[in-house]
């Protein structure tokens, strides 16, 4: 195979992924990727038995025969469709991770493809985490290179960039050579897709699901030397030119292996679109009166970044999926119920008559001077009292204790057949595991 050109960003990324060594990665980054893996597994188990997941599996049953097990379920599929299903179930509750600068949910496509591949191939915990980190790093760097215009133009960035992460991660486990890795990026790029118009429907999770499957297939194609454009990121009519809004950022490859973008991944405390989180934080920090009676509220004014209003101005969501992308619903359930958990973004919650009445008292304002991680909430009560709360800055990192609590909550919600204690004990020693498939087997339902 020909030598790669280090002046090509696509080639440079491919070479770096192949050359990367786990021993060279700092302890803080290793801890971060372990937390991302725990959070993904929690979300996949939480969504495993959702009605939407049931529908998807019935739809795919005629096509996906194979021996790859599904996290949290009893069925088996081929690895490509297993990757698709894992990504769907891990995203359907909208409780996954977030890289705030890009809006990417980095773990979804990458872990889903890795689990599908690792369930049928012996992969150590260390190799799994290394590939997981590399995949998330590449997708976030590509996301930054096309931001902010890419997402703002309507591309679903978790899907469009996540396909690269899945390809890189699985390609690493396949031990692709540098040229093959560059081809994998080329195959991933030409399969990149997903529209923001899908948000609020099951197709939103399918965007991410297709990216996981396509990334795995991209690496399999490259593994068998099926060629693709190996300079696809920077090429004429390539990914950056077609799907970006400016020339390819020179910072794409800056600090590779030193400045880990993926280590800044965050985990959602609420099961809804990340753009709703600052508003929820504002509402839920009203410590002196966390729960209000609907008749006591005269009006609520919520001021957010224009993108937040554009994506989440849904006064009356028709179901739980749309509620996860409704600022009005988030405010109403936070103020009326004093919480924002998995049961507050359901079909029943979306159609609750009291919640509906409260949503009608909410006025949204877009303020271009705010960032997407900022929100201002002003509550006018019938008594004449006015309560104002403002949130500025991204949410603080979720503590290990909070992440463990979230893990237990999601397992109990979506996979009660699993033993949370044993799973958490296994995750502690995950880097030392000889075969990741042993952990996957612990989640499989026998019914």
Q: pLDDT digit of tens for each residue in the chain (447 aa)?
A: 666 777 899 999 999 999 999 999 999 999 999 999 999 999 999 999 999 999 999 999 999 889 999 999 999 999 999 999 999 999 999 999 999 899 999 999 999 999 999 999 999 999 999 999 999 999 999 999 998 889 889 999 999 999 999 999 999 999 999 999 999 999 999 999 999 999 989 999 999 999 999 999 999 999 999 999 999 999 999 999 999 877 787 789 999 999 999 999 999 999 999 999 999 999 998 855 667 888 999 999 999 999 999 999 999 999 999 999 999 999 999 999 999 999 899 999 999 999 999 999 999 999 999 999 999 999 999 999 999 999 987 667 788 999 999 999 999 999 999 999 999 999 999 999 999 999 999 999 887
**111 burial via Cβ count (<10 Å: 0-12, 13-18, 19+):** buried
What integer pLDDT is reported at residue 288 of this predicted model?
57
Query: Residue 90: CB partners within 8 Å, gap ≥ 6?
Result: 40, 43, 44, 47, 96, 107, 108, 111, 112
Given a contact cutoff of 8 angstroms between Cβ atoms, the answer to whether 243 and 296 are in contact is no
What integer pLDDT is reported at residue 2 of this predicted model?
62
Given a contact cutoff of 8 angstroms between Cβ atoms, the answer to whether 295 and 382 are in contact is yes
What integer pLDDT is reported at residue 429 of this predicted model?
97
Domain with CATH 1.10.4100.10 in the chain: 9-269+400-443
* C-alpha span between 443 and 429 (Å, rounded): 16
CA 201, 203, 207, 213 torsion: positive or negative? positive
* C-alpha span between 307 and 153 (Å, rounded): 11
What integer pLDDT is reported at residue 396 of this predicted model?
72
Alpha helix stretches (DSSP H) within 320-446: 320-323, 327-337, 347-350, 353-359, 400-414, 420-428, 437-443
Domain with CATH 3.30.1330.120 in the chain: 274-391
The closest alpha carbon to 47, from 85, 99, 103, 104, belongs to: 85
What integer pLDDT is reported at residue 250 of this predicted model?
74
Which class does domain 274-391 fall in?
A: alpha beta
Given a contact cutoff of 8 angstroms between Cβ atoms, the answer to whether 61 and 73 are in contact is no
Which class does domain 9-269+400-443 fall in?
A: mainly alpha
Query: Residue 325: CB partners within 8 Å, gap ≥ 6?
Result: 199, 200, 272, 273, 276, 311, 312, 314, 317
The closest alpha carbon to 361, from 287, 282, 305, 302, belongs to: 302
**426 burial via Cβ count (<10 Å: 0-12, 13-18, 19+):** middle
The closest alpha carbon to 296, from 309, 286, 304, belongs to: 286
Residue 202 has phi, psi (to 5 degrees) of -65, -25
Given a contact cutoff of 8 angstroms between Cβ atoms, the answer to whether 175 and 134 are in contact is no
> In angstroms, how far is CA 384 from the centroid of its own chain?
42
DSSP state of 158: H
Beta bridge partners of 391: 375
């Amino acid at each position: 195979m020909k030598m790669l050109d280090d002046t090509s960003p696509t080639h440079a990324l491919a070479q770096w992924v192949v050359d990367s060594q786990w021993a060279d990665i700092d302890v803080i980054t290793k801890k971060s990727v372990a937390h991302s893996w725990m959070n993904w597994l929690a979300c996949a188990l939480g969504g495993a038995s959702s009605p939407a997941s049931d529908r998807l599996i019935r739809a795919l049953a005629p096509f996906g025969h194979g021996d790859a097990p599904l996290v949290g379920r009893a069925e088996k599929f081929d690895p490509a469709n297993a990757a698709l299903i894992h990504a769907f179930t891990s995203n359907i509750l909208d409780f996954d991770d977030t890289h705030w600068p890009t809006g990417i949910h980095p773990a979804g496509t990458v872990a889903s493809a890795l689990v599908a591949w690792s369930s049928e191939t012996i992969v150590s915990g260390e190799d799994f985490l290394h590939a997981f980190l590399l995949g998330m790093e590449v997708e976030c760097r590509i996301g930054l290179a096309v931001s902010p215009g890419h997402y703002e133009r309507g591309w679903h960035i978790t899907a469009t960039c996540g396909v690269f992460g899945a390809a890189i991660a699985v390609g690493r486990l396949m031990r692709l050579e540098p040229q093959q890795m560059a081809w994998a990026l080329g195959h991933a790029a030409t399969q990149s897709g997903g529209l923001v118009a899908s948000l609020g429907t099951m197709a939103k999770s399918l965007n991410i699901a297709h990216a996981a499957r396509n990334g795995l297939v991209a690496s399999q194609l490259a593994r068998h030397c099926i060629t693709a454009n190996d300079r696809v990121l920077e090429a004429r009519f390539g990914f950056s030119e077609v799907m970006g809004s400016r020339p390819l950022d020179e910072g794409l490859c800056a600090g590779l292996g030193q400045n880990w973008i993926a280590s800044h991944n965050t985990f959602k405390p609420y099961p809804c679109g990340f753009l709703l989180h600052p508003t929820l934080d504002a509402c839920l920090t009203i410590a002196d009166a966390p729960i209000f009676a609907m008749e006591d509220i005269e009006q609520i004014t919520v001021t957010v970044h224009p993108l937040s209003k554009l994506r989440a101005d849904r006064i009356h969501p028709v179901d739980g999926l749309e509620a996860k992308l409704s600022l009005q619903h988030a405010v109403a359930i936070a103020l009326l119920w004093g919480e924002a958990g998995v049961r507050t973004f359901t079909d029943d919650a979306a159609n609750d008559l009291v919640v509906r009445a409260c949503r009608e008292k909410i006025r949204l304002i877009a303020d271009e001077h705010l960032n997407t991680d900022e929100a201002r909430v002003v509550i006018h009560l019938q008594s004449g009292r006015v309560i104002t709360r403002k949130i500025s800055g991204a949410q603080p990192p979720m503590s290990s204790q909070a992440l463990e609590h979230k893990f237990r909550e999601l397992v109990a919600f979506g996979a009660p057949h699993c033993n949370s204690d044993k799973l958490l004990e296994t995750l502690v020693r995950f880097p030392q595991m000889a075969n990741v498939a042993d952990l996957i087997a612990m989640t499989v339902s026998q019914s």
